[in-house]
Amino acid sequence: MKTKVLTQSDMEQAARILREGGLVGIPTETVYGLGANALDDTAVANIFIAKGRPQDNPLIIHIPEAAWLERYCTDVPDTAWRLAERFWPGPMTMVLPRSALVSDRVTAGLDTVGIRCPGHELCREIIRLAGVPVAAPSGNTSGRPSPTTAAHMMEDMDGKIDAIVDGGPCGVGVESTIIDLTCTPPRLLRPGGITLEQLTEVLGEVEIDPAVRRQMRAGEKPKAPGMAYRHYAPKAPVTVVAGDAGATADYILSHAKGGDGVICFDEYSDRFLGCHVIAVGKFEDKQEQARHIFDALRAFDHTEVSAIWAQCPDSSGIGLAVVNRLSKAAGFHVIEVEP
């Protein structure tokens, strides 16, 4: 199959392909998604084939406005409406009981569904024109870093999907925050663009699923099935070095071999002579780091590096999402250094 590259002026065409059961790469504010009509079981099954995704990993459905929530979810609590009002359209997915319209194909048999109204205007317009909810996982091959540009998605999906809409680079750069509202207190399943602090302001208490911060033990299951998989991983093994920024730079400097990869803050980029260095943003600018983290992990796959070392920010704000993605890329191989 030849994958068409579409632009903003081809929205009608993208919407038609979706409505008719095809697969379309769609830009969102978080990462590019691999979209299909969520009400069409064959189209949804094709998402799993194109990504090589395990069948037990459910999909998020995307809607163009909060008013669609009640079509696909039941028993929508007041807290869901409050979150929607505050953070939609935007990088937040809510897990709620599913309605009869949502099939087992989408939810992998769970009785809940993940639902979000994306902040990317072009994306919402395509869904609105399609007139159907769009199931969309991140547009990477399963296990690879999520794509934040159309070109990155084409690396993985060229020839496997009908079309991709190029909506420019993604503004957030890490996937949406997932909050499970089917338990008390609500539980953060995946940190993302909407921070734990922001959620706590609306919800009061929020529990953090253990899979956010550590590897699951044998027999343990995270509430978001996807959090169990090795993920975001470049080909070379990653070591995350956490702690005071100066101390982490010193640690990497004394352990990295010539030719190794280093992901670092801008301020330290000229220290690692002889290494392949990718700076992801200033130490203070965690939004910028989030925007570049997947691009950095992906870029190393075009190099011969045999090990990757990464400085990482503290866990406040969107830092929690950056730490989580880096830790997952490293298989939770995180070294804490003292200042």
- For Mg ion, the closer of residues 83 and 233 by Cβ is 233
Closest residue by beta carbon to ligand TXA: 226
Q: Which of 46, 93, 195, 327 binds ligand TXA (CB under 6 A)?
A: 93
User: What's the half-sphere exposure (Cβ side, CA atoms, 13 Å) at 327?
Assistant: 24
DSSP assignments along 103-148, one per residue: -HHHHTT-SEEEEE--S-HHHHHHHHHHTS-EE--BSSPTTSPPPS
Residue 166 binds which of Mg ion, ligand TXA, none (CB < 5-8 A, kind-dependent): none
Q: How far is CA 177 from CA 75, 218, 279, 302, in A?
A: 21, 25, 24, 29
**Alpha-carbon gap, residue 64 to 88, rounded angstroms:** 10
* Per CB under 5 A, 239 contacts Mg ion: no
* Per CB under 6 A, 170 contacts ligand TXA: no
CB of 140 to Mg ion, least distance (A): 6
Burial of 169 (0-12, 13-18, 19+ CB in 10 A): middle
Helix or strand or coil: residue 326? helix
The single-letter DSSP state of residue 332 is: T
**Alpha-carbon gap, residue 331 to 334, rounded angstroms:** 8
With contacts defined by CB under 6 A, name the span among 219-227, 245-253, 314-322, 330-338 that binds ligand TXA: 219-227
Q: Which of 3, 112, 198, 311 binds ligand TXA (CB under 6 A)?
A: 112
Site residue total, ligand TXA (CB under 6 A):
28
Residue 136 binds which of ligand TXA, Mg ion, none (CB < 5-8 A, kind-dependent): ligand TXA
Residue 192: what are its φ and ψ, rounded to 5°?
A: -160, -145
* Per CB under 6 A, 293 contacts ligand TXA: no
Q: Which residues are 35's β-sheet partners? A: 24
Residue numbers 188-217 binding ligand TXA by CB under 6 A:
189
CB of 78 to Mg ion, least distance (A): 30
* Per CB under 6 A, 107 contacts ligand TXA: yes
* Per CB under 6 A, 142 contacts ligand TXA: no
* Per CB under 5 A, 138 contacts Mg ion: yes
Tokens standing for 220?
């343990």
Q: How far is CA 333 from CA 143, 145, 234, 310, 327, in A?
A: 17, 17, 14, 11, 7
With contacts defined by CB under 5 A, name the span among 121-129, 132-140, 150-158, 252-260 that binds Mg ion: 132-140
Closest residue by beta carbon to Mg ion: 138
**Alpha-carbon gap, residue 33 to 140, rounded angstroms:** 8
- For Mg ion, the closer of residues 138 and 176 by Cβ is 138
CB of 146 to Mg ion, least distance (A): 5
Q: What does the binding site for ligand TXA look like in residue numbers (CB under 6 A)?
A: 28, 30-31, 33, 57-60, 93, 95, 107, 110, 112-114, 118, 136-138, 175-176, 178, 189, 223-227
Q: What does the binding site for Mg ion look like in residue numbers (CB under 5 A)?
A: 138
